Each structure stands twice: as C-alpha cells, then as structure tokens.
Amino acid sequence: MSMTTDLIINARSHEIRIALIENGTVIEFYIERPSIGGITGNIYKGRIVRVLPGMQAAFVDIGQVRAAFLHVDDVYDHQQEFEQLLRREEDEGLPNEEPEGTPDRHHYTNGFQIEDLLHQGQEILVQVSKEPMGHKGARVTSHISLPGRHLVLMPTASHIGVSRRIEDEEERRRLREAIQEARPDGSGFIARTAAEGVQPEKIVSEMSFMLKLWQNIKRKSQNAAVPSLIHQELDATLRAVRDLFTEEVDRLIIDSLSEYDKVLRFIETFSPGLKSSVELYSGREPVFDAYGVEVEVARALAKKVWLKSGGYIVIEATEALTSIDVNTGRYVGQHNLEETIVKTNLEAVKEIAYQLRLRNIGGLIVIDFIDMEREPNREKVFTVLKEALSRDKSKTKVLRMSELGLIEMTRKRTREDIDRYLREPCYYCEGEGYLLSRTSTCYEAFRDLEREAMSSTGDALCLTVHPALKELMLDEERHAMDDLESRLGKRVIIRSDDGLHLTEYRIESE
C-alpha cells in the first residue's frame, strides 16, 4: 500500500493554517495570524542597547516590543572552526539530527568576549532565528542565511553542505560539485532536500538569484534607518510551499482563490511541473473538517492523550520544561505485568514523538515512563524513542533512561508551541490550572458574610452565587447555614446568578 501525502492550506485574511498529512494522519501543523505576525527569518538593521558581559550576550533594538537577544556565538564569524566542525560531523557520519537548512553554530566557544565585539549604540545587521516567546524577545544572529527552494545561502561562511536527508552518496557528490563550480569565492551554500535530482542549470539559476538578493539586502541596509526591517521572510503560505511542497507531496489543497493564484505564480518560477498537483478546494464542508485536521488540532490541545491499547499519556507544560507522564490506564495486558508495561511504554514512545512534532514542543522535556524491572527493556524503549525522533526536522538530544524510568531530552524550538499560541492562561485560576473547590468557596463566602454582618444594620444579608453553589449551600451545607444565621442573628437569603463564575459571589444588605 503506497503512502499518500497531502499539504492542506486553510487561508483566511485573519489566519493561515497549514497541515501536512501522511496517510490521513496530521504530522505537522502550522498557524500564523497577521495580527501577531511571524518574524523568524526577517532581517533587521538594529542597534545595540545593552551589552551583558556576565551573560556574554547583548540586547538589540530591532523595532519590536521587546529587545532581541544576541549571544556572542552569533556575533563573531567562526568560519574556520565552523567548517572544521561540519567536516568532522560528516566524516564521522553522525545521525540525522540536524534540521534541514542552516547548521547550528551555537554551543562551541570562540575565545572572544562580547564586550570586545560590541558596544552600546553600535548598528548591526541581524536575522531572527527564534520567535519572541512569552516574556522573552526574539533571538537573533548576525550569521545571515537565505533559504531558497533548493539552496540555502550563507553569505558569512564559505562552506558547501548537503542535506542529510539526501542519503545517496553519488547524488550528494553531484550536488556538491555543481555548487562548487558555480559559486563565487567566500559564499556558502547548502543543498536542501528538494535539490535531489535537480539539474545543474536550475541550481545555478537559483544561486544567482540568491546572491543578487543578498547584494540588495546589503545595499538597502547601508542607508536604512535604525531600527528597521531590511528583508521580510515569505508569508506562511509561500513558506509552506517552498519548504514542504516537494515531489513526495501528492497534492497541495488550498481553499482560497487568491492564495491559490499566488501559489501558482510562485511555483511557476522554480518548479512548473508541480502546478498539476495544486488543487483549489471547492467543497461545501470546511477543508480542515473534510480532511480530519480539526480533530487532530483539538487532540493537540488535550492534556491527556489516549493510546489505542487503553493506556494514556499526560502532557503538561511549565515555565521551565514540559513533562510527559505515561500510564497503563485501562490496559491490563494478557500475560505478565512487565510485558504489559513494556508494550504501553513502546506505544507511548510513538505517540510522544508524534505529539512533540505536531504541537511543536521545544526546550527541556522530561518523560516519565512506567517503571520497568529489566535493563534490556529500558534500553529497548530508549532505542525506539531515538528512532521515532529521527524523522523529526527539529534537532533533538536524548539522554538514556534513568533507573527511575525518566528520560530527559531537548528539542530545538524556533516558535511557540500550538498550546501557547492558541490558548492563554485561565484568568479565573490565573494559570494555576486549579480552582478553589465548591466547598472551599462556600466556606469563604460564609466568612465574608460574618465580616459584612459586623457593619450591616439590616435584618438580612443577601448572598448571590452560582447555581451550583446555591444547591450546595441549601443541601449538604444546610446545617452550616443554620448555624451561621444563628450566630449572626440575621437571615441569609441565597440567590443564584448563572452569569457568575463558580468562585464568584456578591453580598448585599437587605
């Protein structure tokens, strides 16, 4: 049975939603709202507003609400060390953990101090590498990279690279040679996955276009005000077409005529052969409903995710990390306890890898698997997790399982995860995730009635509460109510208002 892959775009003026579907399963989901605006990939002319020697970093004013963060590793051009690092990784044949596109320049020292490289008031050209998240500003780098359809231009490095997703050694060598023959000295390029099988003339044509684009960016930045936007990354629709619409995608389905026309014009420039795979959706049912995407998005917001066996995982995000707890739930197995636990953990591994990618969960992640007695079983779960994560475009690092059944891992994050993008902290519980119980709210109201009675001259007090709270007070707490009226020497009249939240109430003198 052959695998089918569809790229679905639900485009509206206020929101663009994109889903990549393999065999009916949503494997990637993206959302962009013009009111919020994605800025990753944008290039700005900024000004250093503060240098922090203790953090070896600086803050850069790029015209956003919060200043951007620039680390020392992103300032100095580590050209020689960087090329040596890349050659070492390729020679050693490290696993495919790097994301497609620009390799990671971070986390190796350079011997330079931030205060030797930057000073307050200095103007600098930077590119956003990570979106602003929470209370943090954007992360920026002075190592510019310009992604195209088949290539990524790195004007600050002279390295030639090939995406690790292209596994055929002969094809890797062909692409590297094609780039080497055409590129000018001092410019670096990476052949993206979409470059596989592409003729040299197309590579050369795109290379020329990208070099001209870089020259225009430099020219524009010379006379631009500070801070200002110098180059804007493609919008969500065209970015999805550029990065996701490969030969492996059977259909691109879009439900907006204007976006459909825009996509056709865009692909005409680099791959006219893909035009026949672009469809304008005309069904009466919303496109995300028709392809089952809405169900998966709702599932991506759920705290508890059920497994087919009857087990489940619980995903909870905190300020510092994301915790994932694995439970057997309703699954009781057929033979012994250890076998049941191992099967649940292995099923959970596949779901966890899928949920991390779908929700775009990044940063530190701690997975609490069900305890297994045998070391080979713990090693098996670890190995299967590594394999499941190898298909993830975002870079991951996984530590071996501890004796307590914990696995710590990190996943590179460049934008907010779905949960934080689509939801906001509960203003009732102030993000705590819990509310005061009905009984506790009831007793708190009783205490406030006692306080109010001290200054009230009337014969009665009126307490207005949520209907569920009124029912509790007149039923289970009837005895407490009688005792309260006796002590106050006043009648307490209880009224309900379904417009009130469960923890809200009003007290008035009668």
Q: How confident is the model at residue 334, as a pLDDT?
A: 64
Asked if the model's pLDDT at residue 2 lies above 80, the reply is: no
Which residues constitute the domain of residue 248? 5-36+237-294
Count of structural domains within the chain = 4
430 in a structural domain? no
Question: Angle at the Cα of 381 (from 319 to 417), degrees rounded to 5?
Answer: 30
Give 320's pLDDT tier (boundaries 50, 70, 90): confident
Give 94's pLDDT tier (boundaries 50, 70, 90): very low
Q: Distance between CA atoms of 425 and 445, rounded to whole angstroms? A: 25
108-112, 305-309, 338-342, 384-388: least confident range: 108-112
CATH number at residue 469: 3.40.1260.20
pLDDT tens for 7-40 read 999 998 888 999 999 888 898 898 888 766 688 9
Summary mean pLDDT of the chain:
86
3-state secondary structure string across 436-465 = CCHHHHHHHHHHHHHHHHHHCCCCEEEEEE
- The residues, ordered by sequence, that sit 6+ positions from 34 with a Cβ below 8 Å of its Cβ are 13, 14, 15
Mean pLDDT of 115-123: 92
114 and 242 assigned to the same domain = no
Q: How confident is the model at residue 80, as a pLDDT?
A: 41
Mean pLDDT of 209-213: 92
210 and 286 assigned to the same domain = no
Q: Is 230 exposed, middle or buried (0-12, 13-18, 19+ CB in 10 A)?
A: buried
Mean pLDDT of 259-276: 88
pLDDT tens for 65-77 read 899 999 999 986 5
Q: How confident is the model at residue 507, as a pLDDT?
A: 94
81 and 189 assigned to the same domain = yes
Q: How confident is the model at residue 462, as a pLDDT?
A: 95
CATH number at residue 87: 2.40.50.140
186 and 83 assigned to the same domain = yes
Q: How many CB atoms lie within 10 A of CB 82?
A: 21
427 in a structural domain? no
74 in a structural domain? yes
319 and 287 assigned to the same domain = no
